[in-house]
Amino acid sequence: MPPRQPPDSAARHLPADPAERTIPTLRRLAAGCTACPLHLTGTQTVFGEGPERAPVMFVGEQPGDMEDEKGRPFVGPAGQLLDRALADAGVDRSKVYVTNTVKHFKWVRKGRRRVHEKPGRLEILACVPWLEAEIAAVAPAGIVCLGATAAQALINKEFKVTEGRGEFLRTPLAGWIMATVHPSSLLRIEDQAMREAAFLRFVGDLARVAEHVAGEGRPAVGEAG
Ligand code: URA
């Protein structure tokens, strides 16, 4: 049997000198990333956005249909729900960094719609050097994983949000890391009362993030005054 090819990796797109791995440079290089086949079907790379010295980084799974079109993370329905939850928790989105584990939209066509498909292990492995480089460049006090894909990429590959949700854990990547649900999981809850209860619990998780940041004397994530 021929030896198995090692999976390709975005690491080959990174500047050799870590000092050159700034967010603007990473964003420019990621725009040309061909490390996995998703660049063939995605419209564009959707890189993270937010202050380059944000105290907290929020990490989702991958861009959705609208993010793929606009080239910005969390601007579709899940992003709007995240914005509402952040606002209710007293977190100003413009003061945090928001990104994804995988930077291209993976989808299948169903009729006229492009429907989200979960990224596979090789796509995550290929793409994660961008996320690691973003974390190193921003050096946030803490990282919030939105959903299992981010938590399994950054905490451990067996991580279950149902078990480890809301725990502030140690990590070599930042001061702390915690995982909560992905906002799109809330959109899928059909029963209105259950959806509202789940939203309030999500807001509670984000409020604890804001408290954690404030307790560390880091730049606040909420509005002044
Ligand atoms: N879901 C994600 O995980 N990220 C986005 O940017 C949008 C939806």
pLDDT computed for residue 225 by the predictor: 38
* CATH number of this structure's domain 20-214: 3.40.470.10
Report domain extents, the chain. Answer: 20-214
199 phi and psi, to 5 degrees? -65, -45
pLDDT computed for residue 44 by the predictor: 98
Q: Is 76 in the pocket of ligand 1 (CB under 6 A)?
A: yes
Q: Is 164 in the pocket of ligand 1 (CB under 6 A)?
A: no
Flag residues of the chain having pLDDT under 70: 1-6, 223-225
pLDDT computed for residue 5 by the predictor: 60
| Ligand 1 atom nearest 66 alpha carbon | 7
Helix (H) or strand (E) holding 38: helix 38-41
β-bridge mates for residue 107, sequence order:
116
**pTM across the whole model:** 0.95
